[in-house]
Amino acid sequence: MKLKHKIAALTALPVFLQASLTMSCTAAKIDSTEASVLSKETTAFYENWKNKYLVQDTYVSDETQYYVWYSEEKYSGNNVSVPVTVSEAHGYGMLITASMAEYDTQAKYYFDGMYRFFKAHPSDIGSHLMSWQQCDNGTELIDGANEGSMTEGFCDSATDGDMDIAYALLLADSVWGSDGEIDYHAEAIAVINDIMKYDVNHEYWTVALGDWVSECDKSDPYYSATRSSDFIVQYFPVFAEVTGDENWMKVYDTTYDIINTFVDEYKTGLLPDFIIRDSSGNYIPSPANFLESDYDGYYYYNSCRTPWRIGMDYLVNKNQDSLAFINAINSFMIKDTGNDPWEIKAGYKPDGTPVEDYNDLCFTAPFLVASACGDNSKWHDEVRDTVINYGDDVYYGDTIKMLCLIADDGGWLVPETTENYPFGDINMDGSFTVADIVLLQKYLIKKEILSIEQGKIANVYEDNKINCFDLVLLKNSYLS
């Protein structure tokens, strides 16, 4: 359970098979003596990122708490509270500090401080989820402070922050173990279960906008809406495996159904920020001002993260739907920019029409991951050069850059999620016997079903399928 995993730079090795046989989780195992794969550009940028954005909550005196300072504003003493962080930023910070454990001897100190801040600011709906925003009123950091209020109000969660925090806790369990002050694994399970309960639409099996949607009426347009920046598909099989809840694979498949719909229709891979379900059951771009801006139905400041978020599922899991999305968005962007990442615009309509005439790091950095998935090394090298030499930016662009550099270097961690069982031990009783062969035979004639973990073990032929080849290999191995 405590082995660390990393994806290899630009590649991965299969180690996990889920029950529906549509993907495999992949990672390259390392041990504690392996040298860090992170480049000098990434480690230097981490120091700058940490010094600029990782901040201690000095209002708290009884314990050490840290947060990611996203607004770069401070309370000015005018009785108007100032937003200083959000759960999205907090999830990013926890991912970064866990990923930098080999490099930074203080990573656990910072991570635990961020964990305490997360626990101090729960949502009012899902008690294991995080309130989406914290504001500085000059005496404390408060939740639910609408329009500069100096007092707390009702607070709810945002799905992407919830998912990143859960995944980061799994990483912490793999990196540091859960036998100390914090049981990272138990905390991760609690968060994941609350995400499933409150952040997932159980009628359509889509990721919702936040736990607040669980209180919406079915007639409310937010009830069936989803946000493409929450398509963090690499996490869903992991969540399924650590909790045993195979509903996560329904979310996984439905999410790709939506992604594929847009790829097939527009051919660009450009997903809109917000996606709604129409009266016919089709998923389409949201109208303007659905939740945030005139550009809610465009590829804008939420969905700019999708080349990274969805691309990770190819780097880690070799998912072919992920690759189809990546191929579409890479091809569009290479052609549209003339292979010049500096020409990536800060917003497009789904058909590829630009809606802004400037670039922005948060739109460019995710193509580090997208370009790593393809076979155009020139495009990848141009993107990396652009990202590294972009210059000073703000929290959003810098933090996405930090995460994408880690992934591009091959430093993205994948948590260990299952116990190790002997070869062929499909029934997971601790030994390989004829009972395992019988179980596989019954599965193949549809007399039995296999769990996700059992499916992984049954894939002895290692071709990401369970069929007669596995049975033959299993029998021959037993007889020999």
Residues annotated as catalytic are 88, 160
Which candidate, 66, 40, 41, places its Cα nearest to that of 134?
A: 66
CA distance 192 to 46: 28
Residue 389 dihedral angles phi and psi, to the nearest 5°: -100, 20
| Residue 50 Cα distances to 44, 94, 177, 197, angstroms | 10, 12, 24, 33
26 sits in the region (left: phi over 0; alpha: psi -120 to 50; else beta) called beta
CA distance 284 to 50: 39
C-beta separation of 410 from 7 below 8 A: yes
Quick one: DSSP state of residue 199?
A: S
| Residue showing tokens 């200083």 | 84
SS (H, E, C) 295-311: CCCCECCCHHHHHHHCH
- Long-range (24+ apart) CB contacts under 8 A made by 289-298 are 290/221, 290/225, 291/209, 291/222, 291/225, 295/347, 295/355, 296/272, 297/272, 297/273, 297/350, 298/272, 298/273, 298/347, 298/348, 298/349, 298/350, 298/355
Angle between helices 159-176 and 107-120 (to 10 degrees): 140
Which candidate, 250, 267, 259, 203, places its Cα nearest to that of 231?
A: 259
